[in-house]
Amino acid sequence: MIDLTGKAALVTGGSRGIGRAISLRLAAQGADVAFSYHGNTLAADEVRAEIERLGRRALPVQADVADPEAADRLVKATLDAFGRIDILVNNAGITRDDLVMRMSLDAWRDVIDTNLSGAFYTVKAAMRPMLKARGGRIINITSVSGQAGQMGQANYSAAKAGLIGLTKALAREVASRGITANAVAPGFVLTELTRDLPDALKDELTKRTPLGRFGTVEEIANAVAFLASDEAAFITGQVLAVDGGLVMM
């Protein structure tokens, strides 16, 4: 059984969807969990209450990781509360979909700033305490869109592909200090966003997935919990696809 007792985790974008499931799964395995949220205080309070019901400490922090100063404050708040960061999960992300011909510069910048630069800022802020502790787990949530590309998502696909490159570069840089860096690449997952997709599109996406269904947020959280654990101590620089076989590389 995965045991994260005594560990402190920081999850960006941890109040809804995949991030919420990750926050709760890490807490269920014994970790204290800090998580950032953008603006939904009610959702953040609900996650905090659920973590505390699991007997773990919770720290919701309102922060936009696209702002490097906010990322610094987020890491500092986590260190002040827990004294350490053993697990960092970069999950915060947005979409601003459009075809390249019609995509605005703001839509490009916003997605790159949040999904890619935000992860860089948070990693950079957490790196010194992790290096000092000579250990840690960095897990970046990428996407099948970053592996295979997706029409209408040039910004999102570029950011998620960039996360894969960031993950592999980090893995090489920090391995000598006992820190691992890996990525999880979800496929089509049931969330608040995908539940509202037209049935015809859901059917098409299901047909494209060899296992014949959407994934669940809990299945993504399972993969993250494994990579955060001692059982994954010899795994680094890898992209774990949790996509029902959609992208086979």
Q: What is the enclosing helix (H) or strand (E) of 223?
A: helix 217-228
Give the relative orientation of helices 41-53 and 17-28 as an angle to the nearest 10 degrees: 20
Interatomic CA distance for residues 247 and 144, integer angstroms = 7
Residue 7: what residue type? K
Asked if 156 is an active-site residue, the reply is yes
Residue 178: alpha-carbon gap to chain centroid: 21
SS3 call for 236? coil
In the chain, count H helices and then E strands.
Answer: 9, 7
Q: Give the tokens for residue 94.
A: 């947005």
Contacts of 122 (CB under 8 A, 6+ apart): 10, 12, 65, 71, 74, 75, 88, 90
Set 121, 156, 188, 214: catalytic member? 156
Residues noted as catalytic = 156
